[in-house]
Structure 1
Amino acid sequence: MNERTAPVKEGEQYEVHIDSVGGKGDGIARVKGFVLFVPNTKENDFVMVKVTKVLEKVGFAEVVKQLEKKDRPAPRQKRFETVSKESLERVPEKPMYDENIEDTDDFGEDLDEE
């Protein structure tokens, strides 16, 4: 069977970013991809949390400390850049082949026949 253990344990503390808010109003944070529900938070909060309960696929945590701007972890760097249609139109086209190569019709004629 495919058994996975949660990457967090009850009692552990983490600095997290609240990514979104769930249907019941709890903040949603992720630690190593594992979802933690954090009550009394809002989207884009940075908080220190203590894990209170761990289930198979999700966990629950409580706020220990509201982090100030200077205490916040560095933002993640984007892996991909957003490109607009207009910026692509300004890029000069490169030829698909080298113009200095002579095109010949004798392809394969220099191979030895067996």
Structure 2
Amino acid sequence: MTQISDSLRLLFETSVEDEGDRYTVAIPPELVENGSIDTDGTYRIALLAADEAEAADSEPSPAEPSSVSRPEPAPSHSQGPPVEEGEVRTVSIDTLGDQGDGIAKVERGFIVIVPGTKPGDRVEVEITDVKETVAFAETVGEATVR
């Protein structure tokens, strides 16, 4: 099972480009434009398989920092986060983060972090904070185990 660190700052879908002697990870322009990524910074990245089945069975692979270019934005990013602050919904906890918080995936693989939950829990949550690539929530009901 893939463990996603609680120190995760960004999560987005992109492609890896083969440039002969190196590979480039395309960064969506809006992440640079909104200040989420600084073009002068150095970043540690992890790559997860896009296929849900592969991602559940594989561990993240560290990679070298990417060069920042102006690629076409990924279609899923142009729609914005699929959740809103104050929204109440039921989610299934898939895995735990490094700090022990439950991690759920909702539409388009968007991550929702829910403290006090564990894999297999199905919980009603209220979204408390929404970032470009991740949201945080608190439980508002009892957890049920699948």
TM-score range, shorter chain: 0.5 to 0.7
- Secondary structure, counterpart of 2:112 in structure 1: strand
- Residue in structure 2 matched with residue 28 of structure 1 by the alignment: 103
- Residue in structure 2 matched with residue 18 of structure 1 by the alignment: 93
Cα RMSD between the aligned structures? 1.6
- Residue in structure 1 matched with residue 114 of structure 2 by the alignment: 38
Q: CA deviation at 1:68?
A: 4.0
- Aligned equivalents of 1:67 and 1:41: distance in 2? 8
- Secondary structure, counterpart of 1:20 in structure 2: strand
Q: Does 1:8 align with 2:8?
A: no
Structure 1: give runs of 5+ residues left out of the alignment. Answer: 73-114
TM (normalized to structure 1)? 0.56
Structure 2: give runs of 5+ residues left out of the alignment. Answer: 1-28, 30-72
Q: What code does the residue aligned with 1:13 have?
A: V
- Aligned equivalents of 2:144 and 2:122: distance in 1? 8
Q: What code does the residue aligned with 1:55 have?
A: K
Q: Which of 16, 41, 48 is the aligned partner of 2:124?
A: 48
Question: Higher helix proportion, which one?
Answer: 2
How many residue pairs were aligned? 70
- Aligned equivalents of 1:66 and 1:28: distance in 2? 17
Q: 1 or 2 for the larger relative contact order (CA 8 Å, sep ≥6)? A: 2
Q: CA deviation at 1:67?
A: 4.3
After superposition, the Cα gap between the structure-2 partners of 1:68 and 1:20, relative to the gap in structure 1 and judged at 3 Å, is closer
Q: What code does the residue aligned with 2:117 have?
A: T
After TM superposition, which residue ranges in structure 1, 4 or more long, deviate above 6 angstroms? none
- Residue in structure 2 matched with residue 110 of structure 1 by the alignment: none
